[in-house]
Amino acid sequence: MFSNFSRRQFFRLIGFSLAGITAIGSIPFIGKFFANKAQAQEAVTQEVYRGRNYRIVNNPVDNTPATIRDGTRTIQTPYDRPVRLFIDDREVDVIRNKSSNKYVTYLLPFSEFNSVRELARTLIELNVAIPNGQSLNLNAT
Amino acid sequence: MATRKNVRNLTSTEKQNLIDAIKAVKADGIYDIYVNWHTAALSYPTPSGVSPSYRNAAHRGPAFLPWHRYYLHRFELQLQAKIPDVTIPYWDWTQDTASPANSPIWAVDFLGGNGDPNDSNQVKTGPFAVGQWTVVGENGSNRTRGLARRFGQQASTVPNQTQVNTALGETPYDRTNWDANSSPSHRNRLEGFLSGGGQLHNQVHRWVGGDMLTNPSPNDPVFWLHHSNVDRIWALWQTNNPSQGYLPASGGPTGHNLNDSMYPWNGQATTLTARPSDVLSISALGYDYA
């Protein structure tokens, strides 16, 4: 198609094309069709289930420490947080057991899940209250 | 010596006394605070800095068994303050493996039955039915619904004797990294995080379903009968393995060593103090199993 173009014309055509793409990408409306890499990684699942909104997002910058001090030993942290879960915009503590590859939350202490989606839906089905930092009355003997 | 009996061997009077004592402890507000103790312990990471979902004060670590032994002991004292001689019976689930939904414990004159699947799985039979029993949530406030059960919700049945025998024969008591991956470990096998051989304690919580799946699982009075059986199995293991002591003696995660205080019984969150070393002997605590 470009066989009749001189080398100069060919490179000028490439330059114009690149400039055009850059210009289009910088226009706010049109730019939305070109999601950047961070945006593409952020959202994984967002659903309304039984009237409650839950959102599972990738966690590319997992701040879980590589090691933990466990008694007198320092060990490789046996879990990580590859995703984050929010229910009604309140974050739920979810970890992945590196040995079993199962997802766990202390809010469902007897269960381990193959997916965070399944975990989130179980929390909603049981109407589990996501902690809000409120102190519990522990005054008894 | 107070004797905890198999629930199947309770007389009608003993069953009624247990129900009445539980209701009396509930009426004076103490029951809900005991539920809060369980909730608080599950959200308390051990040591600080790890996720409570990894290991907390009462689960996923060596203190699981002594924590619950002390917890049940205190609750039993509360019951006995209402009706002397009441003890917490144990539910031997292996007697109901074939058909746990038909266990006599779900009788209308005892714990009541399954929840109504058409009404948020609320229990509508027995003394803990909606309208007769309230439940508190993770934040310590009353839920807007009654007690929920959903038999078979996350497990198809309850453990059998072969699976219990596996736990009875497994040594040592526990091992590094003192968590839900520890193996071999009597504690982790009985708690239920090891694959193969059944999931014992966890499996029963997951079979009863409903409130028994959550942090405030003691909302369901079956919790006490279930953990009485867990404690009985540990006591049997101790008798069968006299050379096997509690581990870790030291050097393990805070809150799980032999002489560590167990949250919330650390003299600060509550006025009580309790360590695993305080509860290794059930006879020293004043009870046994029949």
Strands B287-289 and B2-4: parallel
Measured between CB atoms, does A8 come within 8 Å of chain B?
no
> Which two three-digit tokens encode residue B285?
């605590």
Please tell me if residue B233 touches chain A, with a CB cutoff of 8 Å: no
Does residue B27 register a pLDDT over 70? yes
> Which A positions 37-56 lie with beta carbon below 8 A of chain B?
none
- The least confident of A65-74, B35-44, B174-183, B244-253 is A65-74
ipTM here:
0.93
- pLDDT tens-digit map of B97-125: 999 999 999 999 999 999 999 999 999 99
| Residue to test with chain A: of B39, B53, B212, B271, most A Cβ within 10 A | B53
Is pLDDT above 90 for A36? no
Of the candidates A68, A105, A132, the beta carbon closest to that of B49 is on A68
Q: Do A78 and B176 touch (CB under 8 A)?
A: no
Higher local confidence (pLDDT), A62 or B86: B86
Smallest CA–CA distance from A105 into chain B, residue: B53
Q: Has residue B285 got a pLDDT over 70? A: yes
In chain B, which residue's Cα lies nearest the Cα of A112?
A: B193
**pLDDT surpassing 60 at residue B77:** yes
| pLDDT digit string, tens, across residues A44-53 | 789 999 999 9
Of residues A135 and A78, the one with the higher pLDDT is A78
For an interface test with A, the pick among B138, B226, B247, B262 (most A C-beta atoms closer than 10 Å) comes out as B138
Residue B36 contacts A where some CB pair is shorter than 8 Å: yes
**Residue A131 vs residue B194, higher pLDDT:** B194
Q: What is the rounded average pLDDT of the residues B163-176? A: 97
Interface membership of A114 toward B (CB under 8 Å): no
Between CA B56 and CA B59 the distance in angstroms is 6
Residues 6+ apart with CB under 8 A from B174: B62, B182, B185, B186, B187, B188, B247, B248
In this prediction, residue A71 carries a pLDDT of 87
Q: Which of B28, B39, B44, B54 to mutate to test the interface with A (most CBs of A within 10 A)?
A: B54
Read off the pLDDT band of A3 (50, 70, 90): very low
Q: Which residues 99-118 of B have a C-beta within 8 angstroms of A?
A: none
Residue A7's pLDDT is 58
B54·A78 Cβ contact <8 A: yes
Cβ-Cβ contacts under 8 Å, A107 against chain B: 138, 214-215
Mean pLDDT along residues B176-192: 97
Residue B20 in this model has a pLDDT that exceeds 60:
yes
CA distances from A34 to A20, A59, B32 (A): 14, 21, 54
pLDDT of residue A132: 77
Report pLDDT digits (tens) over A67-80: 998 889 999 999 99
Average pLDDT over residues B234-248: 97
* pLDDT tens readout for residues A4-34: 445 555 545 544 444 443 433 333 333 333 4
State the average pLDDT over residues B137-141: 91
What band does A61 get if pLDDT is binned at 50, 70 and 90?
confident
**What are the phi and psi torsion angles at B34 (to 5°)?**
-65, -40
Predicted local distance difference test score (pLDDT) of residue A33: 39
Nearest CA in chain A to B122: A126
Enumerate the residues of chain A whose CB falls inside 8 A of the CB of residue B192.
Answer: 110
> A130: Cβ–Cβ under 8 A, 6 or more apart, which residues?
A87, A88, A90, A91, A92, A107, A123, B138
Q: What is the average pLDDT score of chain A?
A: 78
Q: Cβ of B270 and A141 within 8 Å?
A: yes
* Percent of chain B topping pLDDT 90: 96
Q: Is some CB atom of chain B closer than 8 A to the CB atom of A91?
A: no
Whether residue A134 is predicted with pLDDT greater than 80 in this model: the reply is no
Residues of A in contact with B53 (CB under 8 A): 79, 93-95, 104-106
Res. B75: pLDDT tops 80: yes
Residue B218 pLDDT grade (very low, low, confident, very high; cuts 50, 70, 90): very high
pLDDT at A8: 56
Considering only CB atoms, which chain B residues are within 8 Å of A140? 30, 33-34, 37, 270
Residue range B238-254: mean pLDDT, rounded: 97
With an 8 Å Cβ cutoff, is B81 touching chain A? Answer: no
pLDDT band of A133, cuts 50, 70, 90: confident
Average pLDDT over residues B55-65: 98
Nearest CA in chain B to A132: B139
Burial grade of A107 (CB within 10 A; 0-12, 13-18, 19 or more)? buried
Q: In this complex, is the C-beta atom of B181 within 8 Å of any C-beta atom belonging to chain A?
A: yes
> What would the mean pLDDT of B203-220 be, rounded to a whole number?
98
**Residues, chain A:** 141
Q: Write the DSSP assignment of B251-277 as a string of letters.
A: SS-TT-STTSPBTTBBSSSSS-B--GG
**In angstroms, rounded to a whole number, what is the distance separating the alpha carbons of residues B164 and B189?**
9
Q: What residues contact residue A29 under an 8 Å CB cut-off, 6+ apart?
A: none
Q: Is A106 on the interface with B (CB under 8 A)?
A: yes
Indicate if the pLDDT at residue B83 is higher than 70.
Answer: yes
Average pLDDT, chain B: 97
Kindly state whether A99 is in contact with chain B, defined as any CB-CB distance less than 8 angstroms: yes
A95 touches chain B (CB under 8 A): yes
Q: Does B52 touch chain A (CB under 8 A)?
A: yes
Q: In this complex, do B139 and A131 lie within 8 Å of one another by their Cβ atoms?
A: yes
Contacts of B176 in chain A (CB under 8 A): 73
| Residue B71, beta-bridge partner list | none
